[in-house]
Amino acid sequence: MSTLEVHPTAVVDPRAEIAPDVEIGPYTVIEGPVRIGRGTKIWPHAYLAAPLTIGRDCQIHIGAILGHLHQALREPQAGGVRIGDGVIVREYGMVHRASKEGAWTTVGAESLIMGFAHVAHDCAIGRRVVIANGSLLAGHVVVEDQAVLSGHVVVHQFVRVGTLAMVGGLSRVNKDVPPYFLVKGDSEVWTINQVGMKRAGLSEIVRGQLREAFRLLYRSGLNTTQSIKAIQATKDPAPEVQHLIRFIQESRRGICRYHLQMPGEANGLDRDEEDVI
């Protein structure tokens, strides 16, 4: 059986609960009763502060910061961080603690947080989410399963990013991003996330229903309430379509608007995703 490997320069709080096969690199600091699951590797110079739970088979890379004090000036520092199994946090990625006692900033299993990305207090990141280099998530952001945020995306506090949505690089997001859609620029929906849906194994029937939902929402001339009624009238709507409807109905900030077509530019479903991103 593998044994715990702790570099002699690491500073590990005696209250920490660390599985026997964890590897802890040079100059790492583990502060308080941090819990670390089996098979996890902590690279050099990481800083981990309780309340913090890290799952199995995670990789916490050089200079990563998990569980440090959040940056909300008028909120307490009473919450913690939970990292799911198989999560990768790359160089200098940051996940700050939640702001209320008993609350958690969470990162779901198999998610990837790339270098210099920042996940602020009280965020809830789903499973298999990708947050690319330099992206910044403000407090209370929700990112649902399998969503992708490209490089240097900035997300406003309390915004939600839906399942299998994709946000293009350098985008500014201050409205909710509907599931299965593709957003770029200043909170604008361009098309549906065809590539992401195919990779996730969604059938052609489901993708077709979502294409029709996109058309009704953004290209039919109907307002949002009318569009939702039209989508609900679809015969045997797939669970993914029902999720899209619920997501929009539950939105408090409103959903991203449609990108207005420029002269000579492909429109909506005619756009090539590679050209968009």
Instruction: Let me know if 2 is exposed, middle or buried by CB neighbors in 10 A (0-12, 13-18, 19+).
Output: exposed
Q: Identify residue 96 by its one-letter amino acid code.
A: H
Which residue out of 121, 140, 243, 259 is catalytically annotated? 121
Which residue out of 122, 140, 168, 259 is catalytically annotated? 122
Active site residue 139: yes
Active site residue 61: no
Which residue out of 93, 139, 162, 196 is catalytically annotated? 139
Active site residue 169: no
Instruction: Output b/e per residue, 118-133; b: 16+ Cβ within 10 A.
Output: bbbbbbbbbbbbbbbb
Q: Which residues are catalytic?
A: 121-122, 139
